[in-house]
Amino acid sequence: MSEPVLSVESLCKRYGESAAVDGLTFQVARGETVGLLGPNGAGKTTTISTVLGVLAPTSGRIVVDGCDLARHRSQALARTNFAAVYAPLPGNLTVEENLRIFGLLYGTAALSRRIDEVIAELDLARFRRTKCGVLSSGEQTRVALAKALLNRPRLLLLDEPTASLDPATARDVRARIRAFAAAGHGGVLWTSHNMYEVQEVCDRVLFLSHARILLEGDPRTLPAEHGKATLEDLFVAVAREPLSLQEAS
């Protein structure tokens, strides 16, 4: 079996006596999309922030595409990219200017050609010289996704990338991510509160509760394994009844 694109071992992030992430261990395989689920405050964004190197873990190990984040930070982060609706690109720069700046930061080879490619892939040609700040939320999301794919990442981190999007745009974003994973060059770690979306996109899900992984499995079969009719029912149970689910496991 090929080396995972992400390996997280015993990851902890503490603030004094409070644990935002408490001993997480999981992997994301090449070509796999893993959903990181759980109620607000469960530790999802903290986990993504530590994998991105934005937060330093209190303890534990993160390896991205064979590069230990603590020892080879630049190499690990060069293999990673990220998109989220709450992290918009600079609004006073055009689409092309944003892509060029981030392409330079990532050291993207043949940058002009690569910008042309992602602009075509995300249907952004007519917005190329438009400032990002005047684009609609759906258009901004497509630009953020173009930026996230620019360096051909081995690990793509998506924190609620379709929140607030209309159904047509959200469907297009999901299709783009499925195509990225299906190509087999990288893996995806995806957080979302949209359970329909999770079942459509994710191969496997990890349910977090109180900073720990409570449940793990296929989103299409996991609910029935825990006596729930739907993934949404299971999500609600994780939020309200984590102890009973843990005992059942």
Q: Is residue 189 part of a domain?
A: yes
Q: Which of 104, 120, 152 represents a domain boundary (last residue)?
A: 152
226 shares a domain with 166:
yes
| Lookup result for tokens 């075509």 | 120
Q: Between 134 and 249, where is the model more confident?
A: 134
pLDDT of amino acid 166: 83
Question: Which CATH number fits the domain that encloses residue 205?
Answer: 3.40.50.300
What proportion of the chain, given as a percentage, has pLDDT over 70?
96
186 shares a domain with 243:
yes
CA distances in angstroms from 88 to 83, 137, 177, 182, listed in the order given = 8, 10, 19, 26
Handedness of CA 25, 182, 84, 148 (dihedral sign): positive
180 shares a domain with 115:
no
221 shares a domain with 204:
yes
173 shares a domain with 210:
yes
Which domain covers residue 129, as residue numbers? 89-152
pLDDT at 246 over 70: no
pLDDT at 243 over 60: no
Q: Which of 129, 152, 175 represents a domain boundary (last residue)?
A: 152
The mean per-residue pLDDT over the stretch 12-31 comes to: 95
Q: Which of 33-37, 137-141, 240-244 has the highest mean pLDDT?
A: 33-37
pLDDT at 151 over 60: yes
This prediction has a pTM of 0.91
95-104, 163-172, 179-188, 224-233, range with the lowest pLDDT: 163-172
163 shares a domain with 70:
yes
- Please spell the DSSP secondary structure of 1-47, one letter per residue: -PPPSEEEEEEEEEETTEEEEEEEEEEE-TT-EEEEE-STTSSHHHH
What's the pLDDT band for 157 if we cut at 50, 70, 90? very high
**d(C-alpha 151, C-alpha 172), whole Å:** 21
Q: Is residue 11 part of a domain?
A: no
The mean per-residue pLDDT over the stretch 203-223 comes to: 94
Q: Is residue 84 part of a domain?
A: no
Q: Is residue 212 part of a domain?
A: yes
pLDDT of amino acid 132: 96
pLDDT of amino acid 95: 98
244 shares a domain with 172:
yes
Q: Between 27 and 174, where is the model more confident?
A: 27
Q: Is residue 203 part of a domain?
A: yes
pLDDT at 248 over 70: no
pLDDT at 242 over 70: no
99-103, 110-114, 160-164, range with the lowest pLDDT: 160-164
Q: Is residue 12 part of a domain?
A: no
Q: How many domains does the chain have?
A: 2
The mean per-residue pLDDT over the stretch 156-162 comes to: 90
pLDDT of amino acid 88: 85
248 shares a domain with 159:
yes
HSE-up (13 A, CA, CB side) for residue 145:
28
**d(C-alpha 63, C-alpha 211), whole Å:** 20
178 shares a domain with 110:
no
Q: Which of 152, 169, 191 represents a domain boundary (last residue)?
A: 152
40 shares a domain with 163:
yes
181 shares a domain with 74:
yes
112 shares a domain with 215:
no
pLDDT of amino acid 176: 87
Q: Is residue 210 part of a domain?
A: yes
